[in-house]
Structure 1
Amino acid sequence: MSQLYASLFYQPEVTDIFSDRALLNYMIQVEVALAKTQAQVEVIPISAATIIEQVAKNALEAIDFDDLAVASGLAGNIAIPFVKQFTAIVKQQDQDASRYVHWGATSQDIIDTAMILQCRDALLLIEKQLQFAYRISIKQAQQYRNQVMIGRTWLQQALPITLGHKFARWAAAFKRDLDRLQAMKSRVLTAQLGGAVGSLASLGNQGSAVVQAFAAELNLTVPECTWHGERDRITEMAATLTIIVGNTGKMAKDWSLLMQTEIAEVYEPTAKGRGGSSTMPHKRNPVAAASVLAAANRIPALMASVYQSMVQEHERALGAWHAEWLAIPEIFQLCAGALERTTDVLENMQVNPDAMQRNLECTNGLIMAEAVMMALATKIGRLNAHQLVEQACQQAVNQQQHLKITLSEMDEVNVHLSPSELNEIFKPETYLGNIQLQIDAVLKAAQGDSA
Structure 2
Amino acid sequence: MDAHMIDSKIFGHRWSTPESHEIFGETARVARWLEVIVTLAEAQAECGIIPVAAAEDIGALRGAELPLDRIAERTRSTGHSTLGMIQTLRELLPATSSEYVYFGATVQDVSDTAQVLEMKAGGALLWRDLWMLEGALIELARQHRETPMAGRTHGQLGAPISFGFKLASWADEIGRHLERMRGARSRWLVGQLGGAVGALAFFGNRGLDLRAAFCRRLSLREPAISWLSCRDRIAEFAHVAAMAATSLARIANEIYVLQRSEIGELRERSQNATVGSITMPHKRNPERSEQIVTLAQLARAQSNILTDSLVHEHERDGRHWKIEWSVFPTLCHSVLAAAAMSRELVCGLEIDMAAMRRNLSNVPASEHLLSVMSARLGKHRAQMLLQEAYRAGAEEKVSLTSLLQGFATQHELSGLARVDFGSCALMVDRVVEAAGRRRALESECWQ
TM-score range, shorter chain: over 0.9
Give how far 1:75 is off. 4.7
Aligned CA-pair RMSD: 1.5
2:148 aligned residue: 148
What is the deviation of 1:213?
Answer: 0.5
Cα distance in 1, alignment partners of residues 16 and 398 from structure 2: 51
Range that drifts further, 274-283 or 319-328: 274-283
More moved, 153-162 vs 211-220: 153-162
Q: Does 1:83 align with 2:78?
A: no
Letter in 1 for 2:100: Y
1:280 alignment partner in structure 2: 280
Equivalent position amino acid for 1:53 in 2: G
2:267 aligns to what? Answer: 267
Deviations 1:374-406 (A, max 9, x none): 110010101110111112212321343553x33
Q: Name the counterpart of 1:439.
A: 428
Q: For residue 313 of structure 1, report the CA deviation from its aligned partner.
A: 1.2
Report whether the alignment pairs 1:413 with 2:408: yes
The share of aligned pairs that are identical, in percent, is 30
Instruction: Check the 8 A contact 2:238/2:331 in 1, yes or no.
Output: yes
SS at match of 1:319: helix
Q: How does 1:83-232 map to 2 (within 5 A)?
A: 83-90=86-93, 94-232=94-232
2: CA distance between counterparts of 1:275 and 1:147? 31
Question: For the residues of structure 2 that align with 1:24 and 1:114, how far apart are their CA atoms?
Answer: 10
- Where does residue 370 of structure 1 map in the other structure? 367
Please tell me the residue identity of whatever aligns with 2:11: Y
1:252 equivalent in structure 2: 252
Alignment of 1:288-367 (within 5 A): 288-362=288-362, 365=364
Deviates more, 1:24-33 or 1:75-84: 75-84
Q: Gaps spanning 5+ residues in structure 2: where?
A: 1-5, 441-447
Kept in 2: contact 1:274–1:287 (CA 8 A): no
Q: CA deviation at 1:76?
A: 5.0
Q: Note if contact 1:30-1:113 (Cα within 8 Å) is conserved in structure 2.
A: yes
1:43 deviates by: 0.6
CA contact (8 A) 2:188 2:233 kept: yes
C-alpha deviation, 1:234, in angstroms: 0.4
Letter of the 1:398 partner, please give it.
Answer: E
Deviation larger for 207-216 or 64-73: 64-73
Q: Tell me if structure 1 keeps the 8 A contact 2:141–2:168.
A: yes
2:59 maps to amino acid: E
TM-score when scaled to structure 2? 0.94
The one-letter amino acid of 1:34's match is L
1:69-110 per-residue CA deviation (whole Å, 9 max, x = no partner) reads 3443455553222122122222xxx21111110111101100
CA contact (8 A) 2:73 2:84 kept: no
Cα distance in 2 for partners of 1:193, 1:410 equals 80
Name the residue aligned to 1:426.
417
Tell me, in whole angstroms, the C-alpha distance in 2 between the residues paired with 1:74 and 1:144. 63
Work out which of the residue numbers 68, 71, 79 in structure 2 matches 1:68: 71
Distance 2:225 2:335 in 1: 30
Q: Is the aligned partner of 1:15 residue 2:12?
A: no
Runs of 4+ more than 6 Å apart = none
Structure 1 unpaired stretches of 5+ = none
C-alpha contact 1:229 1:313 (8 A) present in aligned 2? yes
Q: Residues 205 and 290 of structure 1: is their aligned pair in 2 closer, same or farther, counting only changes over 3 Å?
A: same
Deviates more, 1:299-308 or 1:33-42: 299-308
Residue aligning to 1:388: 385
Q: Return the alpha-carbon distance in structure 2 between the equivalents of residues 73 and 248 of structure 1.
A: 41
Q: Could you tell me how far apart the structure 1 residues matched to 2:302 and 2:119 are?
A: 16
Secondary structure of the structure 2 residue equivalent to 1:221: coil
TM (norm. structure 1) is 0.93
Q: Which amino acid aligns with 1:411?
A: G
Aligned runs of 1:35-50 on 2, under 5 Å?
A: 35-50=41-56
- Residue aligning to 2:438: 449
Secondary structure of 2:11's counterpart equals helix
SS in 2 for 1:149: strand
Structure 1 residue 53 corresponds to structure 2 residue 44: no
Post-superposition offset of 1:284: 0.5
Distance 2:240 2:275 in 1: 30
Shift of 1:450: 3.4
Counterpart contact for 2:229–2:312, Cα < 8 Å: yes
CA contact 1:104–1:195 (8 Å) conserved in 2: yes
String of CA shifts for 1:261-292, please: whole Å, max 9, x gaps. Answer: 11111001121233511211011110001210
CA deviation after TM superposition for structure 1 residue 312, in Å:
1.2
Between the aligned partners of 1:38 and 1:345, the Cα distance in structure 2 is 49
List per-residue Cα deviations over 1:25-49 (Å, max 9, x = no partner): 1111111110111111101111111
Q: What count of residue pairs does the alignment treat as equivalent?
A: 434
**Does the 8 A contact of 1:306 with 1:327 survive in 2?**
yes
Instruction: Give, as a single letter, the amino acid of the residue that structure 2 aligns with 1:413.
Output: A
Retained in 1: the 8 A contact 2:149–2:360?
yes
Aligned-pair CA distance for 1:8: 1.0
Higher share in helix:
1
